[in-house]
Amino acid sequence: MKEIILIKNGELALKGLNRRTFEDMMIKNMRRRFEHIGKFTFKASQSTIMVESEDENADFDTAFEAAKKVFGIAGLSRAAATEKDIDKIKEVAKEYLEDELMFAKTFKVNAKRSDKNFPLKSPEICMEVGGFLLENFPHLTVDVHNPDIIVTVEVRDTHVYIHGNQHKGAGGMPVGSAGKAALLISGGIDSPVAGWMMAKRGLRLMGIHFAAPPYTSELAEKKVHELTRKVAAYSGRIKLYIVEFTKIQETIKDECPEELFTIIMRRIMMKTAEKIARREDCEALITGESLGQVASQTMKALACTDRATDMPVFRPCIGMDKGEIVKISREIDSFETSILPYEDCCTVFTPKHPKTRPSVEEVEKAESAVDFTEMIEEAVNSARFILID
Ligand code: ATP
Ligand code: MG
């Protein structure tokens, strides 16, 4: 039986003249994501994208799972394709949806007829197919308001497509439609979630990770690769920069007041990240900060961090509880990796009593004891990157 995936656009539908561009972008993202799964073709018509394959053995299971992670998609279904013949439609509905229909108690048939030449009108298709399914699955009853399964029959230009309940898509906007930003990614729970949230709003992501060898290990870095991979399953490829931060951290520790260590370190992180971000045409920075979560995330501390860069800093987790962030991290499968116990450069040299209400003046003054320009330049120039899919 010929199978296809039917994709329904999400917010795309609202975008008027931009719709085509957004749709093309979504198809381009899907095409890239499907490349290693098999040979698929993509066809857009009437706010639906049809994903087909000439290859009989194409791996639709994997393709369908991958499609669920593509932003811009509101809903998606696996459907069986058949000829425009009512008897064929009935047989295929019975066969293709057998498992689901056996499991359901109630159902209804929903017909969409975009080919107006098809001899039966939508209500007639519903009657015919509904009657046939009742005969073949006598345990079923019809419920038009709240059925367990909606059997949908779509009569389109070349084929008829039959599917059961639609699955929820990842929602949001196609990655790339809103531009590109740099995610400051640590080994923690919050930053992968922050990246996922902004990719969902259409940002293409680049990653920047600060490592402090030998204080941080190779395993800690591998963990960040893995977390980036979890985000990339949704956002598409991420170019991840690894920036060596040891010398800067040691200098802050030696030259600046201990209680301001973290806040100064975060400011230098921002400055360094901004340089790499600009070089890579990113237009914003993204962090996983959440108001009040730790000393460096009070409003005063965030104000100090903000002043270190001219770029907009997106903090999508700012108003979320830890529990809410954890919930998303479980959904996107990054949680188990995030809680692996490797050190992060942020936890190296953490002061016992960090200042929670630093003033910008005080921090800038303390920071000016050292000229970080050259060290930042060196960190930027020696940064290496890897591409993560
Ligand atoms: P996370 O769970 O994301 O690590 P956190 O609650 O541990 O966050 P901090 O360690 O204060 O908070 O870091 C705040 C944010 O700063 C992180 O969400 C991340 O965006 C960025 N950040 C922290 N450490 C690093 C790092 N080593 N490399 C890159 N970015 C970092
Ligand atoms: Mg952290």
Pocket perturbation via mutation, ligand 1, pick of 335, 346, 347, 350 by most ligand atoms within 8 A of CB? 346
What 3 state SS string does 92-108 have? HHHHHCHHHHHHCCEEE
Tell me what pLDDT residue 15 has. Answer: 58
Of 23-27, 162-166, 266-270, which gets the smallest average pLDDT?
23-27
Q: What is the DSSP string of 234-292?
A: HH--EEEEEEE-HHHHHHHHHHS-GGGHHHHHHHHHHHHHHHHHHHTT---EE----TT
Tell me what pLDDT residue 32 has. Answer: 94
Of 155-159, 194-198, 287-291, which gets the smallest average pLDDT?
155-159
Closest atom of ligand 1 to CA, residue 208? 29
Q: Residue 1: which pLDDT band, with cuts at 50, 70 and 90?
A: confident
Pocket perturbation via mutation, ligand 1, pick of 190, 243, 294, 324 by most ligand atoms within 8 A of CB? 190
Phi/psi at 339 (5° precision)? -90, 5
Region 173-181: what's the mean pLDDT? 95
Region 156-176: what's the mean pLDDT? 95
From the CB of residue 166, how many other CB atoms can be counted at a distance below 10 Å?
Answer: 16
**pLDDT higher than 70, residue 122:** yes
Tell me what pLDDT residue 39 has. Answer: 93
Tell me what pLDDT residue 348 has. Answer: 76
Higher pLDDT, 354 or 110: 110
Atom 26 of ligand 1 has which residue's CA nearest to it?
186
Query: How does strand 285-286 pair with strand 179-184?
Result: parallel
On whether the CB atoms of residues 194 and 316 are closer than 8 A, the answer is yes
Domains in the chain, start-ordered, CATH in brackets? 2-168 (3.30.2130.30), 179-388 (3.40.50.620)
Tell me what pLDDT residue 11 has. Answer: 62
Of 42-51, 65-74, 249-258, 379-388, which gets the smallest average pLDDT?
42-51
The rounded Å distance from CA 188 to ligand 1 centre is 6
Q: Percent of the chain beyond pLDDT 90? A: 85
- For residue 274 and ligand 1, the question of a CB distance below 6 A is answered with no
Tell me what pLDDT residue 356 has. Answer: 86
pTM of the model: 0.93
Coil vs helix vs strand at 356: coil
What would the two tokens of residue 373 be? 């320009």
Coil vs helix vs strand at 60: helix
